[in-house]
Structure 1
């Protein structure tokens, strides 16, 4: 099965073409752009397909990161994935950023449980723990830092993500939120498309609020 994986949930805009039969990434492209995913994504997809020697019509499944992450970026990726799937008549699946981070960490420390922790700002942390086999041990959630620290203190395993130093101050190094597109593709290959169309996973409301005082009355 040929899978096209998309990630626009963070600072990267990335795509990969993956052959699940041979467990091989045939092509991938990624740019660290911060913002402007909508303007760059189609070009990134074209580059990944070209490197893979595949045409879009040959893709049999779409996988996309659904968050948590950038509100705007997630919307761009999910909309593109659902659009591709509709046009091609193929299934599409969602992959969370937390499970992607945990899977990447398990490659570095096999046999260990993983706590994926993202600094969500506003004194909150996006959190989810996974077993050494990759099974989720709880639900993804946004929790206050104090609650996250208490949870991490009793967690027997590795911690990955930008919030790791907040949870265990003894941890040093460059902890960032990385969603490797090759791992998104592999997780997408294993996902169950019968679970429904991918939807954004925000965990909390947007920072931007409508300015009600300037609203124009409807007539």
Structure 2
């Protein structure tokens, strides 16, 4: 007779039992700095979001703040989820370098999630929709997704489009989310809209927690830029 879930030994990751695992989520892709802590049952324990001029001086302090809210510390973490873009080029570099530093210092597995996928997973609306971020330079980052229950699947790659080009996709969307929504016209009256950026660290943390639980292999961590950086080195 096979053992039921309650009878199985808890999984171990780096010597930590997943039955009580803590996973931290981090998002530095936009002007917002988002942090979230998910517990061993996949439940949100604490979160923090603040608008920042620069992520560099705030990221570690914000992470420790969330851990203190839950009465925990970095040494108890079993994994880390990081939002990998597209978004702010400087913010992405700060977030990924922080994640890699924690990976090395604490021997943590790190899992990445795209910012547009995180947006799509932050809302529970069914059907085909769009995730949009303000990309500056008169463009929006946009990607289509289909949600059916808890399953979210991408309908194509992330793109940097003009608002006019993005509006061609808006006409058929059942929902849309992100700070790029107000930049795009053509939404039908029945389309559900959330014209802001929710805490993207939450879906990133849940994604990492699920990846640990399922024993998924980690992929190399790299920023997703979609377009060339705004500032280039001379020569």
**Corresponding residue SS for 2:232:** coil
Q: Is the 1:16–1:48 contact (alpha carbons within 8 Å) kept by the matching residues of 2?
A: yes
**Corresponding residue SS for 1:105:** coil
Q: Is the 1:105–1:114 contact (alpha carbons within 8 Å) kept by the matching residues of 2?
A: no
Q: CA offsets per residue over residues 158-197 of structure 1, 9 Å max, x none?
A: 1122232414256798722334432321123234752413
Alignment map for 1:104-143 (pairs within 5 Å)? 104-106=122-124, 109=125, 111-132=126-147, 133-143=151-161
CA distance in 2, matches of 1:138, 1:161: 17
TM-score normalized by structure 1? Answer: 0.83
TM-score normalized by structure 2? Answer: 0.78
CA distance in 2, matches of 1:174, 1:150: 19
Q: Is the 2:42–2:209 contact (alpha carbons within 8 Å) kept by the matching residues of 1?
A: no
**Corresponding residue SS for 2:46:** strand
What's the counterpart of residue 209 of structure 1? 232
Alignment map for 1:75-94 (pairs within 5 Å)? 75-94=93-112
Q: Does 1:158 align with 2:178?
A: no
Tell me: CA distance 1:156–1:210, structure 2 relative to 1, closer, same or farther (3 Å): closer
What's the counterpart of residue 203 of structure 2? 183
Greater strand fraction, Structure 1 or Structure 2: 2
Greater helix fraction, Structure 1 or Structure 2: 1
5+ residue gaps, structure 1: 213-219
Q: CA offsets per residue over residues 12-48 of structure 1, 9 Å max, x none?
A: 22322211x3222222233221x22111111111111
Tell me: CA distance 1:18–1:174, structure 2 relative to 1, closer, same or farther (3 Å): closer
Q: Is the 1:16–1:27 contact (alpha carbons within 8 Å) kept by the matching residues of 2?
A: yes
Q: Is the 2:81–2:201 contact (alpha carbons within 8 Å) kept by the matching residues of 1?
A: no
5+ residue gaps, structure 2: 1-20
